[in-house]
Amino acid sequence: MADLAGKTALVTGASRGIGRAIALRLGRDGARVAVHYGNNEAAAKEVVAEIGEDRAFAVRSELSAPDAAEVLLGRVEEEFDGLDILVNNAATVSYSGLEGTTPEEFDRVVAVNVRAPFFIIQRALPLLREGSRIINISSMATRVAMPRFVTYALTKGAVDVLGRTLAAELGARGITVNTVAPGVVETDSTAAVLAAPGRKEAAAARSAFGRLGRPEDIADIVALIASDDARWVTAGWIDATGGSNL
Ligand code: NAP
C-alpha cells in the first residue's frame, strides 16, 4: 500500500474498467480523487461513493471536444489547490483496420487518445506540484503488431513518445512522466472482441501467466509509480502485459 494521504489525483476515464480500478486504488491509498467520466455519470458516482464523497468528486468532460482539457481542469481547480497525480487513462478503441477506417473515425480516435491527454497535461501544468506524477496509459499494441487496431496503436505510439519527451522537460520541476502499457485486460472495451468463441483462451495464452489481465493488475502498477518509492523512475515504459507475446 502506498501512502498517498494528502495527495490529489485526477484519473481520466475513471467511471469504468482500468480507470475505475486506478481511482479506487489511489483512493484506498489515501489520495483525494477527481473521477473523470464521459457518459456514464451513474458509474462515476458509484466510484465516488466507494472512495467517499468527502474525498472524491465526479467530473464530466467529453474528450473528443476541443475544450475538453479546459472543462476538466477548470473543475479540478475548483476542488483542489494543486495536483500530485495525473493519470491519462481514458481512450477510445478502434478496430476497423487500414482498409475500413474512415477519416472521421481516425480523427475521433486521435482526438480522444492523443489530443486530449496532450492538452490535459498542458492545462494541468500550473497545478502540478513539485514531485508530482504524470502517468499515461498506453498499450501492448505499440510493441506487438495488431493490424485491426492500427489507428488505435498509432495513437498509443504517440502517447509513448509524449511520455519520453515530457519526462525530459518536466524533470526540472521534479515531475516524473511514465507510461504504463497493459496487454489484454477484461473490461467493456475488450468485451466484444473477447466474446467470439476461443478468443478469451487465445488472449490468455499470450501471457506468460496464462490468464487475462484484470483492471486491478494495472491499478496496482499505477499506484507503485505514484508512490514516493518510484521518485527516480521517469521516462519509463512499463510493460504491464503479464509477459505477453514474449
Ligand atoms: P473502458 O472500459 O472502455 O473505459 C473507458 C473509459 O474512458 C470510460 O471511463 C469512459 O467514460 C472513458 N472515455 C472513453 N471515451 C471517452 C470520451 N470520448 N470522452 C470522455 N471519456 C471517455 O476502457 P479500458 O479497457 O478500461 O481502457 C482504459 C485504458 O487502458 C485505455 O487507455 C486503453 O487504451 C488502455 N488499454 C486497455 C486494454 C484492455 O485490454 N482493456 C489494453 C491495453 C490498453 P464513460 O464510460 O463515462 O463514457
User: 43-66: per-residue pLDDT in tens?
Assistant: 999 999 999 999 999 999 999 999
How much is the pLDDT for 64?
A: 98
Segment (H or E) for 192: helix 188-195
Residue among 11, 12, 18 whose CB has most ligand 1 atoms within 8 A, to mutate: 18
**Nearest residue by C-alpha to atom 31 in ligand 1:** 91
Q: Report the percent of the chain where pLDDT is more than 90.
A: 98
Q: What is the pLDDT of residue 1?
A: 72
Could you report the per-residue pLDDT of 190-201, keeping only the tens digit for each? Answer: 998 899 999 999
Task: Determine the atom of ligand 1 nearest the C-alpha atom of 189.
Answer: 3
Show the ligand 1 pocket: residues with CB < 6 angstroms.
Answer: 13, 15-19, 37-40, 62-64, 89-92, 112, 137, 139-140, 182, 184-185, 187-190
Cβ–Cβ < 8 Å for 83, 10: yes
Is pLDDT at 2 greater than 80 in this prediction?
no
Rounded to an integer, what distance in angstroms lies between the CA atom of residue 73 and that of residue 214? 29
Ligand 1 centroid – CA 90 distance (Å)? 4
User: Using an 8 Å Cβ cutoff, are 71 and 65 in contact?
Assistant: yes
| Ligand 1: nearest atom to the Cα of 61 | 20
Q: Which residue segments constitute the domains of the chain, with CATH numbers given?
A: 8-236 (3.40.50.720)
152 is catalytic: yes
Mean pLDDT over each residue of the chain, to the nearest integer: 97
Tens digits of per-residue pLDDT, 8-32? Answer: 999 999 999 999 999 999 999 999 9
What percent of the chain lies above the pLDDT cut of 70? 100
Place of cell 456514464: 40
Which of 241, 243, 187 shows the shortest CA–CA distance to 215? 187
Report pLDDT for 140.
97
Mean pLDDT of 92-117: 98
**pLDDT tens-digit readout, 203-223:** 999 999 999 999 999 999 999
Cα 72 to Cα 60: distance, rounded to the nearest angstrom: 7
